[in-house]
Structure 1
Amino acid sequence: MSEKELVQYTKKLLVSPEDPSILTPTELHDAIVMIMNLLKKLGTNGVGGVPNDVTQMPLLIKIASFLTALRTSGLDHKAEYIAEAAKAVLEFSRLVDLPQQKPQYNILDIVGTGGDGQNTFNVSTSAAIVASGIPHLKICKHGGKASTSNSGAGDLIGKLGCDIAKVTPTSVPQLWNDNDFLFLLAPYFHDGMSLMAPLRKVLGIPTIFNVLGPLLHPVDHVNKRVLGVYSHDLGEEYVKAAAMVYPQSEIFVVWGNVGLDEVSPIGKTTVWHFKRDQQYEQDNFQKFDIEPSMFGIQEHSLQDCISLGPEANAHILRDEILSGKHKLGDNHPIYDYILLNTAVLYCLAVGNHDWKTGIEMAEASIQSGSALKSLQHFIDSVQNL
């Protein structure tokens, strides 16, 4: 494909939504593949570097125009388009090659799109660690570093003492069997997203790439997923997109009604649930609300669950939460926040809505020391690579 074809695709985004000539999901897939191939040919100054040739500017302007028109059209928040974009990016990813064997137990991920602007504690990563201390659960957490907050998953894991640069597509198989918690830092697996990073930074507006992260897990063994979105309007489309990308997974898409891309410690959280009936080959979608009282815990304001930065968050998580200094009933905001999100992971894994049992299992993981042991074992395993 040529730059001229990209311009034609951009024009297809400028027509009325009812116009039959509007850009199709398949054309979006082809456009993203073309964009990444063109950026790959241009070359950059290292991973995430900035193109250094002024003659490249016309092409970069055309790519920026396409992404801006796509955002303006609203198609980038439609299920079929999100799914095709994710599939295009995965064509440029380095996926993990693991034996295709039936897992002994459920393998989960919990990750949000980001972009909610709330800057809360690293609850998804914390919940992943705690859940990994529950028997028969394996968590393969996929995430990045901070973009819209002051502490991303990768920042926290690094401050906890893990040399995450050693966790690569080639080393994950060495870590897989002996760890119930693994963390995969996205940039080491997704060359296509790295190619896009400089342009996205200069562009300065949200694009379709802002919502793709949770749909790009490089390990296809994951069969249960909690995916957070930053807006209610995105939720229903996102669960449909996730079902297209991960048809064999059971999925919760969550949105905290206070404006949070995870299960909220205050007020209601809306959950969109996808599960495929393998016997009848039928896709089942449900929608329901949950709130802290259903889990038997007190509500806490977002301000009480604020992120203090990677180093402080790591200290709180390791030395206060995982060490068992707090317990259920103390009404400690961050402790309860982590229990809440862990309980949702657990209930998805076991296939029920017994939220209070989920809380009990989460607390048992912490108080028994299993969660901390799981984290430390992963850190040590990475160190020994």
Structure 2
Amino acid sequence: MRSRSHHPRLCGGWARAAGSPSPPGRVSGVAALGPSGARTWPSLISALVAGRDLTADDCAWAMARVMAGEAPAVPLAGFLVALRAKGETVAELTGLADEMLAHAVPLHLPEAAGPREAAVDVVGTGGDRSATGTSTVNISTMAALVVAGAGRTVVKHGNRAASSQCGSADLLEELGVRLDLPPQRVGEVAGEVGITFAFARVFHPAFRHAAEARSGLGVPTAFNVLGPMTNPGRPGAAAIGVADARLAPLVAGVLAHRGTRALVFRGEDGLDELTTSGPSSAWRVGGGAVEELEVDPRALDLPPSTLADLAGGDAPHNAAVARRVLGGGTGPVRDAVLLNAAAALAAADGLEGDLHEALRRQLAVAAAAVDSGAAAAVLERWVAATSS
């Protein structure tokens, strides 16, 4: 297993997106101020076009304008494209994510849900980048149910499908989970069931102001990876899949600065999951540091799969697959779900020691949660709790 440790900095160094090194002697992270000494859209865009890194405060200013509905579509689109072309840094993603989270509707977890630090999110950015263009079944959503079945409190943050036929919200609704709950009830459900869903459109209503700029661009930007970093429940642990190879280590860097325990990963087949079709790149986050590793399903005695084995469809199709897996059905989808559930369980436990050994232990825990019926029972209770 390859291993490389990093202590992410907010400017320069490895904290820049892969493939975008800082030119020698360049000063990074200088505030992008206009002639008047204040930040403006032209001052930020000009700095980015010149290849300069922005500060976290620069990007927080930009996100604050978005949240206030004061970001016209044209300059916002220019900002996002220029940021992408330069290559994002940990500081820039931190500024965007932290400011967005500061404007979120609070999600309060009751005492029955346990300490916030012990809760975990299992989430992916979406936008799978496999060579075949395959959209998979909802692996992270099924994994979240398995983790809750194993006794961990799950606060899942998600939305409807953006680039596929079925997002996490679409699947859960098809399974009978009601999502249009007031924020207070969302927190209460976590205490009653052990899992809850923070619907992005409910907890980040101001982010709607970015919709016109994003839809007009039609290309992925930094905004596409903010979801996993802006969970309003602020769980202390996370298993996060990032399809974009350039941004995955930067997401890990943002989480490291927050003190989150996390495993960030990307399948070498382009999936935003720990894949069973081959190795996955992984970044272990803990103690403020990031360690780059590799997860090989062969080392965990998991049978190899193909992308076709994991292919998904619309909400009814994916819901039928989920019911089969939760009912004890075997095969490649179950293997992938258990592997991603194991990653979340390992993150919740602190990710100490050899990663493959930690995953092997948690695979057994995840399998027991399914085979005992505990994961299916969680879904049944969740449907009942949100219907009452």
Q: How far has the Cα of 1:105 moved from its partner?
A: 8.3
Whether 1:374 aligns to 2:378 is yes
2:40 corresponds to which letter in structure 1? Answer: E
Corresponding residue of 1:322: 326
CA RMSD, Structure 1 to Structure 2 (Å): 2.3
1:322 corresponds to which letter in structure 2? Answer: L
Q: How far has the Cα of 1:314 moved from its partner?
A: 0.5
Instruction: Call closer, same or farther: CA 1:23–1:302 in 2, change over 3 Å.
Output: same
The one-character-per-residue Cα deviations of 1:236-274 (angstroms, maximum 9, x if unpaired) are 222111222x32x21111111111111011111111111
Whether 1:35 aligns to 2:40 is no
Whether 1:107 aligns to 2:119 is yes
The one-character-per-residue Cα deviations of 1:313-352 (angstroms, maximum 9, x if unpaired) are 101211x11112x24xxxx111111111112222222345
Q: How far has the Cα of 1:99 moved from its partner?
A: 5.5
Determine the C-alpha separation between the residues in 2 that align with 1:147 and 1:138. Answer: 27
Q: How far has the Cα of 1:203 moved from its partner?
A: 2.2
2:82 corresponds to which letter in structure 1? Answer: A
Corresponding residue of 2:55: 24
Q: Report if the CA contact (8 A) 2:195-2:382 is conserved.
A: yes
Corresponding residue of 1:285: 290
Corresponding residue of 2:148: 132
Corresponding residue of 1:209: 223
Q: Report if the CA contact (8 A) 1:229-1:254 is conserved.
A: yes
Corresponding residue of 2:160: 145
Whether 1:14 aligns to 2:49 is yes
1:263 corresponds to which letter in structure 2? Answer: L
Determine the C-alpha separation between the residues in 1 that align with 2:383 and 2:344. Answer: 22
- Which deviates more from structure 2 when the two are superposed, residues 151-160 or residues 114-123? 114-123
Determine the C-alpha separation between the residues in 2 that align with 1:23 and 1:358. Answer: 40
Give the % identical residues: 28
Q: Report if the CA contact (8 A) 1:339-1:362 is conserved.
A: yes
* 3-state SS, counterpart of residue 266 of structure 2: strand
Instruction: Call closer, same or farther: CA 1:61–1:140 in 2, change over 3 Å.
Output: same
Determine the C-alpha separation between the residues in 2 that align with 1:97 and 1:161. Answer: 24
Determine the C-alpha separation between the residues in 2 that align with 1:138 and 1:102. Answer: 7
Choose which of 187, 199, 204 in structure 2 pairs with 1:185.
199
Choose which of 220, 223, 227 in structure 1 pairs with 2:236.
223
Q: Report if the CA contact (8 A) 2:154-2:190 is conserved.
A: no
Q: Report if the CA contact (8 A) 2:229-2:251 is conserved.
A: no
Instruction: Call closer, same or farther: CA 1:23–1:106 in 2, change over 3 Å.
Output: closer
Q: How far has the Cα of 1:126 moved from its partner?
A: 0.3
1:286 corresponds to which letter in structure 2? Answer: E
Corresponding residue of 1:47: none
Determine the C-alpha separation between the residues in 1 that align with 2:185 and 2:91. Answer: 33
Choose which of 253, 257, 262 in structure 2 pairs with 1:240.
253
Corresponding residue of 1:333: 332
Q: How far has the Cα of 1:134 moved from its partner?
A: 0.8
Q: How far has the Cα of 1:363 moved from its partner?
A: 1.5
Give the TM-score taking structure 1 as reference length. Answer: 0.83
Choose which of 359, 365, 369 in structure 2 pairs with 1:365.
369
2:128 corresponds to which letter in structure 1? Answer: D
1:225 corresponds to which letter in structure 2? Answer: A
Q: How far has the Cα of 1:102 moved from its partner?
A: 6.4
Determine the C-alpha separation between the residues in 1 that align with 2:126 and 2:202. Answer: 19
Give the TM-score taking structure 2 as reference length. Answer: 0.82
Q: Report if the CA contact (8 A) 1:300-1:333 is conserved.
A: yes
Determine the C-alpha separation between the residues in 2 that align with 1:108 and 1:60. Answer: 35
Q: How far has the Cα of 1:116 moved from its partner?
A: 2.0
Q: How far has the Cα of 1:378 moved from its partner?
A: 1.1
Gaps of 5+ in 1: 41-58, 277-282
Whether 1:342 aligns to 2:341 is yes
Instruction: Call closer, same or farther: CA 1:4–1:296 in 2, change over 3 Å.
Output: closer
Determine the C-alpha separation between the residues in 2 that align with 1:381 and 1:94. Answer: 22
Q: Report if the CA contact (8 A) 2:120-2:154 is conserved.
A: yes
Q: How far has the Cα of 1:229 moved from its partner?
A: 1.2
Whether 1:310 aligns to 2:345 is no
Q: How far has the Cα of 1:104 moved from its partner?
A: 9.0
Q: How far has the Cα of 1:4 moved from its partner?
A: 8.5
Mapping 1:242-261, distance limit 5 Å: 242-244=255-257, 246-247=258-259, 249-261=260-272
Q: How far has the Cα of 1:8 moved from its partner?
A: 2.2
Q: How far has the Cα of 1:146 moved from its partner?
A: 0.7
Q: Report if the CA contact (8 A) 2:124-2:242 is conserved.
A: yes
2:334 corresponds to which letter in structure 1? Answer: Y
Give every structure 1 segment of 4 or more consecutive aligned residues whose post-TM-superposition deviation is greater than 6 Å.
1-4
Determine the C-alpha separation between the residues in 1 that align with 2:76 and 2:250. Answer: 25
Determine the C-alpha separation between the residues in 2 that align with 1:339 and 1:111. Answer: 14
Q: How far has the Cα of 1:111 moved from its partner?
A: 0.8
Determine the C-alpha separation between the residues in 1 that align with 2:246 and 2:73. Answer: 30
Gaps of 5+ in 2: 1-33
Corresponding residue of 1:263: 274
* 3-state SS, counterpart of residue 78 of structure 2: helix
Determine the C-alpha separation between the residues in 2 that align with 1:209 and 1:28. Answer: 12
Corresponding residue of 2:82: 69
Determine the C-alpha separation between the residues in 2 that align with 1:66 and 1:121. Answer: 33
Q: Report if the CA contact (8 A) 1:110-1:125 is conserved.
A: yes
Q: Report if the CA contact (8 A) 1:266-1:291 is conserved.
A: no
2:46 corresponds to which letter in structure 1? Answer: K
